[in-house]
Amino acid sequence: MKYVKGYECSLCHKFFPIQEELFTCPDCGEKGILDIIYDYEAMKKEVTKEYFLKNSEKSMWRYHLLMSVNEELLEKTLKVGNTPLYTSFNLASIINVKTLYIKDEGLNPTQSLKDRASAVAVIKAMEKNQTTLACSSTGNAASSLAGNAARMGLNTVIFVPKRAPVGKLTQLLYYGATVIKVDGDYKDAFQLSKLAINHYKWYNRNAAINPHLVEGKKTVAFEIAEQLQFKPTDWVVVSVGDGCTIAGVYKGFYDLFRLGLIDKIPKLLGVQSEGCSPFVEAYESGLPLAEAEELTIADSIAVGIPRNPIKAINAVKLSLGSWMKVSDKLILDSMVLLGKTEGIFAEPAAAASLAGLIQARKQNVITKEDSVTIIVTGNGLKDTQNALKAIQEPPTLKPNLSELINYLKTRGENDE
Ligand SMILES: *Cc1c(COP(=O)(O)O)cnc(C)c1O
Ligand SMILES: [Zn+2]
Protein backbone atom coordinates (compact mmCIF):
# COMPACT_ATOMS: atom_id res chain seq x y z
CA MET A 1 0.00 0.00 0.00
CA LYS A 2 2.85 2.40 0.77
CA TYR A 3 3.71 2.88 -2.92
CA VAL A 4 0.16 3.77 -4.02
CA LYS A 5 -0.08 7.35 -5.30
CA GLY A 6 -3.75 7.52 -6.20
CA TYR A 7 -6.32 6.84 -8.91
CA GLU A 8 -6.36 7.83 -12.55
CA CYS A 9 -9.55 7.86 -14.61
CA SER A 10 -9.15 5.62 -17.66
CA LEU A 11 -11.42 7.99 -19.60
CA CYS A 12 -10.47 11.60 -18.74
CA HIS A 13 -7.07 10.73 -17.17
CA LYS A 14 -7.70 12.98 -14.19
CA PHE A 15 -5.70 12.07 -11.05
CA PHE A 16 -7.22 11.63 -7.57
CA PRO A 17 -5.32 11.06 -4.33
CA ILE A 18 -5.86 7.67 -2.70
CA GLN A 19 -7.42 9.21 0.44
CA GLU A 20 -10.62 9.90 -1.48
CA GLU A 21 -11.86 6.25 -1.45
CA LEU A 22 -13.38 6.33 -4.91
CA PHE A 23 -14.91 3.63 -7.05
CA THR A 24 -15.47 5.40 -10.37
CA CYS A 25 -14.45 8.87 -11.59
CA PRO A 26 -16.60 11.60 -10.00
CA ASP A 27 -16.53 13.55 -13.30
CA CYS A 28 -17.14 10.74 -15.81
CA GLY A 29 -19.55 8.63 -13.75
CA GLU A 30 -19.86 4.90 -14.22
CA LYS A 31 -17.84 4.75 -17.43
CA GLY A 32 -14.90 6.44 -15.71
CA ILE A 33 -13.25 3.26 -14.47
CA LEU A 34 -10.26 4.10 -12.28
CA ASP A 35 -6.77 2.70 -12.35
CA ILE A 36 -4.50 2.56 -9.29
CA ILE A 37 -1.26 4.50 -9.82
CA TYR A 38 2.03 3.65 -8.10
CA ASP A 39 5.28 5.44 -7.43
CA TYR A 40 7.51 3.12 -9.46
CA GLU A 41 10.66 5.12 -8.83
CA ALA A 42 10.33 4.61 -5.08
CA MET A 43 9.13 1.01 -5.44
CA LYS A 44 12.12 0.16 -7.65
CA LYS A 45 14.48 0.58 -4.72
CA GLU A 46 12.77 -2.15 -2.71
CA VAL A 47 11.11 -4.45 -5.25
CA THR A 48 14.04 -6.03 -7.06
CA LYS A 49 14.88 -9.57 -8.22
CA GLU A 50 16.74 -9.91 -4.90
CA TYR A 51 13.55 -9.02 -3.05
CA PHE A 52 11.71 -11.89 -4.68
CA LEU A 53 14.55 -14.36 -4.05
CA LYS A 54 14.35 -13.58 -0.33
CA ASN A 55 10.55 -13.51 -0.20
CA SER A 56 9.27 -16.63 1.57
CA GLU A 57 5.52 -15.89 1.16
CA LYS A 58 4.07 -18.26 -1.43
CA SER A 59 0.52 -16.91 -1.85
CA MET A 60 -0.43 -13.88 -3.95
CA TRP A 61 0.38 -11.68 -0.94
CA ARG A 62 3.97 -12.24 -1.95
CA TYR A 63 3.28 -9.20 -4.13
CA HIS A 64 1.54 -7.01 -1.56
CA LEU A 65 4.08 -4.19 -1.99
CA LEU A 66 2.93 -3.86 -5.60
CA MET A 67 -0.74 -3.75 -4.56
CA SER A 68 -3.27 -1.46 -2.91
CA VAL A 69 -3.95 -3.49 0.25
CA ASN A 70 -2.93 -2.97 3.86
CA GLU A 71 -0.45 -5.53 5.08
CA GLU A 72 -1.95 -6.22 8.54
CA LEU A 73 -4.94 -8.31 7.51
CA LEU A 74 -3.36 -10.60 4.94
CA GLU A 75 -2.31 -13.50 7.11
CA LYS A 76 -5.73 -15.04 7.73
CA THR A 77 -7.09 -15.30 4.19
CA LEU A 78 -7.47 -18.40 2.07
CA LYS A 79 -4.24 -19.21 0.23
CA VAL A 80 -4.74 -17.75 -3.21
CA GLY A 81 -2.21 -17.99 -6.03
CA ASN A 82 1.04 -19.92 -6.31
CA THR A 83 -0.59 -22.01 -9.05
CA PRO A 84 1.60 -24.15 -11.31
CA LEU A 85 2.92 -23.09 -14.70
CA TYR A 86 3.41 -26.24 -16.73
CA THR A 87 5.76 -26.61 -19.68
CA SER A 88 3.66 -28.39 -22.29
CA PHE A 89 5.22 -31.36 -24.01
CA ASN A 90 2.30 -33.15 -25.66
CA LEU A 91 -0.07 -30.32 -26.52
CA ALA A 92 2.64 -28.04 -27.92
CA SER A 93 3.58 -30.49 -30.66
CA ILE A 94 -0.05 -31.29 -31.50
CA ILE A 95 -0.96 -27.66 -32.11
CA ASN A 96 2.43 -26.90 -33.59
CA VAL A 97 3.98 -24.27 -31.36
CA LYS A 98 7.57 -24.56 -30.21
CA THR A 99 7.18 -23.30 -26.65
CA LEU A 100 3.93 -23.52 -24.72
CA TYR A 101 3.24 -22.96 -21.02
CA ILE A 102 -0.04 -23.56 -19.24
CA LYS A 103 -0.95 -21.57 -16.13
CA ASP A 104 -3.50 -23.64 -14.20
CA GLU A 105 -5.67 -21.20 -12.25
CA GLY A 106 -8.20 -23.95 -11.60
CA LEU A 107 -6.02 -24.85 -8.60
CA ASN A 108 -6.95 -21.77 -6.59
CA PRO A 109 -8.97 -22.28 -3.35
CA THR A 110 -12.35 -21.95 -5.06
CA GLN A 111 -10.98 -23.26 -8.37
CA SER A 112 -10.75 -20.13 -10.50
CA LEU A 113 -8.64 -17.04 -11.12
CA LYS A 114 -11.44 -14.96 -9.57
CA ASP A 115 -9.95 -15.76 -6.16
CA ARG A 116 -7.20 -13.23 -6.85
CA ALA A 117 -9.80 -10.45 -7.01
CA SER A 118 -12.00 -11.77 -4.22
CA ALA A 119 -9.11 -11.99 -1.78
CA VAL A 120 -8.52 -8.28 -2.34
CA ALA A 121 -12.23 -7.46 -2.05
CA VAL A 122 -12.39 -9.14 1.33
CA ILE A 123 -9.37 -7.21 2.59
CA LYS A 124 -10.68 -3.87 1.29
CA ALA A 125 -14.06 -4.45 2.94
CA MET A 126 -12.36 -5.25 6.25
CA GLU A 127 -10.20 -2.14 5.97
CA LYS A 128 -13.48 -0.19 5.85
CA ASN A 129 -15.07 -2.27 8.64
CA GLN A 130 -17.79 -3.53 6.31
CA THR A 131 -19.20 -6.95 7.07
CA THR A 132 -21.37 -7.64 4.00
CA LEU A 133 -20.03 -7.89 0.45
CA ALA A 134 -22.08 -8.17 -2.71
CA CYS A 135 -21.57 -8.85 -6.38
CA SER A 136 -23.29 -10.06 -9.50
CA SER A 137 -21.62 -12.86 -11.33
CA THR A 138 -21.93 -15.50 -14.00
CA GLY A 139 -20.69 -17.90 -11.32
CA ASN A 140 -17.00 -17.85 -10.47
CA ALA A 141 -16.79 -14.37 -8.97
CA ALA A 142 -19.75 -15.38 -6.82
CA SER A 143 -18.42 -18.66 -5.49
CA SER A 144 -15.01 -17.10 -5.08
CA LEU A 145 -16.28 -14.11 -3.13
CA ALA A 146 -18.46 -16.33 -0.95
CA GLY A 147 -15.55 -18.66 -0.13
CA ASN A 148 -13.02 -15.94 0.56
CA ALA A 149 -15.52 -14.00 2.69
CA ALA A 150 -16.57 -17.09 4.65
CA ARG A 151 -12.96 -17.67 5.65
CA MET A 152 -12.85 -14.16 7.17
CA GLY A 153 -16.23 -14.42 8.88
CA LEU A 154 -17.95 -11.97 6.52
CA ASN A 155 -21.38 -12.15 4.85
CA THR A 156 -22.09 -12.20 1.13
CA VAL A 157 -25.09 -11.39 -1.05
CA ILE A 158 -24.73 -12.76 -4.55
CA PHE A 159 -26.79 -12.00 -7.67
CA VAL A 160 -26.60 -14.72 -10.31
CA PRO A 161 -28.33 -15.05 -13.69
CA LYS A 162 -30.86 -17.83 -14.16
CA ARG A 163 -28.43 -19.89 -16.26
CA ALA A 164 -25.62 -20.11 -13.66
CA PRO A 165 -24.22 -23.68 -13.80
CA VAL A 166 -25.31 -25.90 -10.96
CA GLY A 167 -21.71 -26.68 -9.89
CA LYS A 168 -20.97 -23.03 -9.23
CA LEU A 169 -24.32 -22.42 -7.59
CA THR A 170 -23.91 -25.40 -5.27
CA GLN A 171 -20.43 -24.28 -4.31
CA LEU A 172 -21.51 -20.81 -3.28
CA LEU A 173 -24.48 -22.09 -1.29
CA TYR A 174 -22.07 -24.23 0.70
CA TYR A 175 -20.01 -21.12 1.45
CA GLY A 176 -23.10 -19.70 3.15
CA ALA A 177 -23.92 -16.90 0.72
CA THR A 178 -27.35 -15.29 0.42
CA VAL A 179 -28.11 -16.11 -3.20
CA ILE A 180 -30.40 -13.97 -5.34
CA LYS A 181 -31.15 -15.90 -8.53
CA VAL A 182 -32.35 -13.31 -11.02
CA ASP A 183 -34.93 -14.15 -13.65
CA GLY A 184 -32.86 -12.81 -16.54
CA ASP A 185 -29.33 -12.84 -17.90
CA TYR A 186 -26.07 -11.47 -16.51
CA LYS A 187 -26.95 -7.92 -17.55
CA ASP A 188 -30.11 -8.09 -15.43
CA ALA A 189 -28.28 -9.57 -12.46
CA PHE A 190 -25.68 -6.81 -12.67
CA GLN A 191 -28.34 -4.09 -12.80
CA LEU A 192 -30.22 -5.38 -9.77
CA SER A 193 -27.00 -5.80 -7.78
CA LYS A 194 -26.13 -2.18 -8.51
CA LEU A 195 -29.45 -0.93 -7.18
CA ALA A 196 -29.22 -3.13 -4.11
CA ILE A 197 -25.61 -2.19 -3.32
CA ASN A 198 -26.60 1.48 -3.44
CA HIS A 199 -29.61 0.85 -1.28
CA TYR A 200 -27.97 -1.30 1.41
CA LYS A 201 -24.43 0.19 1.20
CA TRP A 202 -22.81 -3.24 0.95
CA TYR A 203 -19.17 -3.52 -0.14
CA ASN A 204 -19.09 -3.74 -3.94
CA ARG A 205 -17.12 -6.60 -5.45
CA ASN A 206 -18.17 -5.94 -9.04
CA ALA A 207 -14.69 -6.19 -10.48
CA ALA A 208 -14.96 -3.63 -13.24
CA ILE A 209 -16.23 -0.89 -10.97
CA ASN A 210 -13.87 -1.58 -8.08
CA PRO A 211 -10.37 -0.47 -9.07
CA HIS A 212 -8.62 -2.56 -6.41
CA LEU A 213 -9.75 -5.86 -7.89
CA VAL A 214 -7.77 -5.67 -11.11
CA GLU A 215 -4.80 -5.14 -8.78
CA GLY A 216 -5.52 -8.62 -7.40
CA LYS A 217 -5.90 -10.17 -10.82
CA LYS A 218 -2.57 -8.80 -11.97
CA THR A 219 -0.73 -11.13 -9.59
CA VAL A 220 -1.23 -13.92 -12.13
CA ALA A 221 1.11 -12.02 -14.47
CA PHE A 222 3.65 -11.57 -11.65
CA GLU A 223 3.64 -15.31 -11.04
CA ILE A 224 4.00 -16.18 -14.72
CA ALA A 225 6.94 -13.78 -15.01
CA GLU A 226 8.66 -15.15 -11.92
CA GLN A 227 8.04 -18.75 -12.97
CA LEU A 228 9.80 -17.93 -16.26
CA GLN A 229 12.76 -16.19 -14.56
CA PHE A 230 11.41 -12.78 -15.62
CA LYS A 231 11.49 -13.76 -19.28
CA PRO A 232 7.79 -14.06 -20.15
CA THR A 233 6.64 -15.56 -23.45
CA ASP A 234 5.99 -13.60 -26.66
CA TRP A 235 2.24 -14.11 -26.22
CA VAL A 236 -0.12 -14.62 -23.29
CA VAL A 237 -3.61 -15.87 -24.14
CA VAL A 238 -6.60 -14.93 -21.95
CA SER A 239 -10.34 -15.47 -22.34
CA VAL A 240 -12.39 -12.28 -21.98
CA GLY A 241 -15.82 -11.51 -20.53
CA ASP A 242 -16.00 -8.19 -18.69
CA GLY A 243 -12.35 -7.56 -19.49
CA CYS A 244 -11.00 -7.31 -15.93
CA THR A 245 -8.81 -10.39 -16.21
CA ILE A 246 -7.00 -9.29 -19.35
CA ALA A 247 -6.70 -5.78 -17.92
CA GLY A 248 -5.13 -7.29 -14.79
CA VAL A 249 -2.73 -9.41 -16.80
CA TYR A 250 -1.61 -6.32 -18.70
CA LYS A 251 -1.24 -4.25 -15.52
CA GLY A 252 0.92 -6.95 -13.95
CA PHE A 253 3.34 -7.09 -16.85
CA TYR A 254 3.26 -3.28 -17.09
CA ASP A 255 4.27 -2.96 -13.41
CA LEU A 256 7.19 -5.34 -13.90
CA PHE A 257 8.25 -3.47 -17.02
CA ARG A 258 8.17 -0.14 -15.21
CA LEU A 259 10.24 -1.66 -12.41
CA GLY A 260 12.82 -2.83 -14.94
CA LEU A 261 12.24 -6.49 -14.03
CA ILE A 262 11.17 -7.59 -17.53
CA ASP A 263 12.38 -6.31 -20.91
CA LYS A 264 9.09 -6.45 -22.76
CA ILE A 265 5.38 -6.81 -22.15
CA PRO A 266 3.97 -9.95 -23.84
CA LYS A 267 1.43 -9.52 -26.60
CA LEU A 268 -2.00 -10.34 -25.24
CA LEU A 269 -4.49 -12.40 -27.23
CA GLY A 270 -8.04 -11.75 -26.00
CA VAL A 271 -10.36 -14.66 -26.73
CA GLN A 272 -14.16 -14.64 -26.87
CA SER A 273 -16.82 -17.10 -27.97
CA GLU A 274 -18.54 -16.50 -31.32
CA GLY A 275 -21.86 -16.56 -29.45
CA CYS A 276 -20.86 -13.51 -27.42
CA SER A 277 -17.98 -11.53 -28.83
CA PRO A 278 -18.55 -7.78 -28.45
CA PHE A 279 -14.81 -6.99 -28.16
CA VAL A 280 -13.92 -8.98 -31.27
CA GLU A 281 -16.73 -7.40 -33.31
CA ALA A 282 -15.59 -3.91 -32.27
CA TYR A 283 -11.96 -4.76 -33.07
CA GLU A 284 -12.81 -6.16 -36.51
CA SER A 285 -15.30 -3.46 -37.50
CA GLY A 286 -13.55 -0.47 -35.96
CA LEU A 287 -16.92 0.54 -34.49
CA PRO A 288 -17.66 1.25 -30.81
CA LEU A 289 -18.45 -1.68 -28.59
CA ALA A 290 -22.06 -2.80 -29.07
CA GLU A 291 -24.21 -4.92 -26.79
CA ALA A 292 -24.10 -8.62 -27.75
CA GLU A 293 -26.26 -11.66 -27.07
CA GLU A 294 -25.03 -14.20 -24.55
CA LEU A 295 -25.21 -17.42 -26.55
CA THR A 296 -22.34 -19.67 -25.55
CA ILE A 297 -21.62 -22.66 -23.32
CA ALA A 298 -18.67 -20.69 -21.92
CA ASP A 299 -20.81 -19.07 -19.23
CA SER A 300 -17.93 -17.25 -17.52
CA ILE A 301 -17.29 -15.17 -20.63
CA ALA A 302 -20.92 -14.79 -21.71
CA VAL A 303 -20.98 -11.06 -21.03
CA GLY A 304 -23.18 -9.07 -23.41
CA ILE A 305 -22.25 -5.67 -21.99
CA PRO A 306 -18.62 -5.79 -20.86
CA ARG A 307 -18.09 -3.66 -17.76
CA ASN A 308 -14.41 -2.94 -18.22
CA PRO A 309 -14.14 -2.12 -21.94
CA ILE A 310 -11.55 0.65 -21.90
CA LYS A 311 -8.99 -1.19 -19.81
CA ALA A 312 -9.46 -4.40 -21.82
CA ILE A 313 -9.17 -2.71 -25.21
CA ASN A 314 -6.09 -0.79 -24.02
CA ALA A 315 -4.50 -3.99 -22.71
CA VAL A 316 -4.64 -5.62 -26.14
CA LYS A 317 -3.73 -2.44 -28.01
CA LEU A 318 -0.80 -1.36 -25.81
CA SER A 319 0.65 -4.88 -25.74
CA LEU A 320 0.46 -4.97 -29.57
CA GLY A 321 -1.71 -8.06 -29.23
CA SER A 322 -4.90 -9.16 -30.97
CA TRP A 323 -8.44 -10.47 -30.57
CA MET A 324 -9.85 -13.83 -31.63
CA LYS A 325 -13.29 -15.42 -31.53
CA VAL A 326 -13.82 -19.16 -31.40
CA SER A 327 -16.77 -21.51 -31.82
CA ASP A 328 -18.28 -23.46 -28.93
CA LYS A 329 -17.32 -26.60 -30.87
CA LEU A 330 -13.65 -25.59 -30.80
CA ILE A 331 -13.96 -24.75 -27.09
CA LEU A 332 -15.30 -28.23 -26.34
CA ASP A 333 -12.59 -29.85 -28.51
CA SER A 334 -10.01 -27.81 -26.61
CA MET A 335 -11.39 -29.06 -23.28
CA VAL A 336 -10.92 -32.62 -24.51
CA LEU A 337 -7.40 -31.87 -25.77
CA LEU A 338 -6.30 -30.19 -22.53
CA GLY A 339 -7.58 -33.11 -20.49
CA LYS A 340 -6.19 -35.82 -22.73
CA THR A 341 -2.78 -34.36 -23.47
CA GLU A 342 -1.90 -32.45 -20.30
CA GLY A 343 -4.10 -33.81 -17.51
CA ILE A 344 -5.86 -30.50 -16.97
CA PHE A 345 -9.67 -30.39 -16.75
CA ALA A 346 -10.83 -26.89 -17.64
CA GLU A 347 -14.24 -25.27 -17.71
CA PRO A 348 -15.35 -23.99 -21.14
CA ALA A 349 -14.32 -20.35 -20.57
CA ALA A 350 -10.93 -21.59 -19.39
CA ALA A 351 -10.35 -23.84 -22.39
CA ALA A 352 -11.32 -20.93 -24.63
CA SER A 353 -7.73 -19.69 -24.29
CA LEU A 354 -6.46 -22.88 -25.92
CA ALA A 355 -9.17 -22.60 -28.58
CA GLY A 356 -8.00 -19.04 -29.26
CA LEU A 357 -4.43 -20.20 -29.60
CA ILE A 358 -5.43 -22.95 -32.05
CA GLN A 359 -7.39 -20.40 -34.10
CA ALA A 360 -4.52 -17.90 -33.97
CA ARG A 361 -2.10 -20.55 -35.22
CA LYS A 362 -4.47 -21.37 -38.09
CA GLN A 363 -4.51 -17.72 -39.13
CA ASN A 364 -0.80 -17.39 -38.35
CA VAL A 365 -1.49 -14.48 -35.99
CA ILE A 366 0.73 -16.52 -33.66
CA THR A 367 3.57 -18.30 -35.45
CA LYS A 368 5.24 -21.61 -34.72
CA GLU A 369 8.35 -19.77 -33.53
CA ASP A 370 6.47 -17.67 -30.96
CA SER A 371 6.54 -18.72 -27.34
CA VAL A 372 3.09 -18.77 -25.74
CA THR A 373 1.47 -18.96 -22.29
CA ILE A 374 -2.21 -19.87 -22.05
CA ILE A 375 -4.09 -19.08 -18.85
CA VAL A 376 -6.56 -21.77 -17.84
CA THR A 377 -8.85 -19.62 -15.73
CA GLY A 378 -11.14 -22.17 -14.05
CA ASN A 379 -11.66 -25.84 -13.21
CA GLY A 380 -13.83 -28.18 -15.30
CA LEU A 381 -15.67 -29.66 -12.32
CA LYS A 382 -17.59 -26.39 -12.03
CA ASP A 383 -19.76 -27.23 -15.01
CA THR A 384 -19.91 -30.95 -15.74
CA GLN A 385 -23.26 -30.61 -17.54
CA ASN A 386 -21.69 -28.76 -20.46
CA ALA A 387 -18.51 -30.81 -20.20
CA LEU A 388 -20.53 -33.99 -20.83
CA LYS A 389 -21.45 -32.65 -24.28
CA ALA A 390 -17.95 -33.25 -25.56
CA ILE A 391 -17.42 -36.85 -24.46
CA GLN A 392 -19.20 -40.17 -24.64
CA GLU A 393 -20.38 -41.76 -21.45
CA PRO A 394 -19.04 -45.32 -21.15
CA PRO A 395 -21.41 -48.31 -21.48
CA THR A 396 -22.12 -50.42 -18.38
CA LEU A 397 -20.57 -53.89 -18.63
CA LYS A 398 -21.46 -57.15 -16.87
CA PRO A 399 -18.71 -58.05 -14.35
CA ASN A 400 -17.40 -60.63 -16.77
CA LEU A 401 -13.94 -60.91 -18.43
CA SER A 402 -15.05 -61.92 -21.91
CA GLU A 403 -17.47 -59.00 -22.08
CA LEU A 404 -14.62 -56.70 -21.03
CA ILE A 405 -12.32 -58.18 -23.70
CA ASN A 406 -14.98 -57.63 -26.37
CA TYR A 407 -15.50 -54.05 -25.26
CA LEU A 408 -11.80 -53.22 -25.19
CA LYS A 409 -11.46 -54.73 -28.71
CA THR A 410 -13.91 -52.12 -29.97
CA ARG A 411 -11.57 -49.53 -28.38
CA GLY A 412 -8.60 -50.99 -30.33
CA GLU A 413 -7.15 -52.85 -27.36
CA ASN A 414 -5.71 -56.36 -27.94
CA ASP A 415 -5.55 -58.95 -25.17
CA GLU A 416 -1.93 -60.07 -25.66
C1 LIG B 1 -14.41 -14.34 -15.11
C2 LIG B 1 -13.75 -15.35 -15.95
C3 LIG B 1 -13.13 -15.04 -17.17
C4 LIG B 1 -13.11 -13.67 -17.78
O5 LIG B 1 -12.74 -12.63 -16.92
P6 LIG B 1 -13.32 -11.15 -17.18
O7 LIG B 1 -12.69 -10.31 -16.17
O8 LIG B 1 -14.81 -11.22 -17.04
O9 LIG B 1 -12.93 -10.79 -18.58
C10 LIG B 1 -12.54 -16.08 -17.86
N11 LIG B 1 -12.57 -17.35 -17.40
C12 LIG B 1 -13.14 -17.68 -16.23
C13 LIG B 1 -13.12 -19.09 -15.78
C14 LIG B 1 -13.75 -16.69 -15.48
O15 LIG B 1 -14.35 -17.05 -14.33
ZN1 LIG C 1 -12.91 10.78 -15.58
Sorted by where each starts, the structural domains of the chain and their CATH numbers stand as 85-111+213-390 (3.40.50.1100)
Atom of ligand 1 nearest to the CA of 244: 7
d(CA 304, CA 296): 11
Burial of 287 (0-12, 13-18, 19+ CB in 10 A): exposed
For position 224, what pLDDT does the model report?
98
CA of 6 relative to ligand 2 center, distance in Å = 14
d(CA 293, CA 65): 40
Contact (Cβ atoms closer than 8 angstroms) between residue 37 and residue 7: yes
Burial of 301 (0-12, 13-18, 19+ CB in 10 A): buried
Amino acid of residue 160: V
Q: Which of 80, 83, 112, 171 to mutate to test the pocket of ligand 1 (most atoms within 8 A of CB)?
A: 112
Report the first-to-last Cα separation within the chain, whole angstroms: 65
Say whether 25 sits in a helix, a strand or coil.
coil
CA of 181 relative to ligand 1 center, distance in Å = 20
d(CA 155, CA 183): 23
CA of 281 relative to ligand 2 center, distance in Å = 26
pLDDT digits (tens, 9 = 90+) for 372-393: 999 999 999 988 888 888 888 8
Q: Which helix (H) or strand (E) holds 318?
A: helix 309-318
Q: Which residues are CB-contacts of 191 (< 8 A; sequence separation ≥ 6)?
A: none
For position 416, what pLDDT does the model report?
58
C-beta 77 within 6 A of ligand 1: no
Count of Cβ atoms closer than 10 Å to residue 47 Cβ: 22
Neighbours of ion ligand 2 (CB under 5 A): 9, 11-12, 25, 27-28, 32
For position 46, what pLDDT does the model report?
98
Atom of ligand 1 nearest to the CA of 245: 7
pLDDT under 70: residue ranges of the chain: 138, 207, 415-416
CA 221 to chain centre: 11
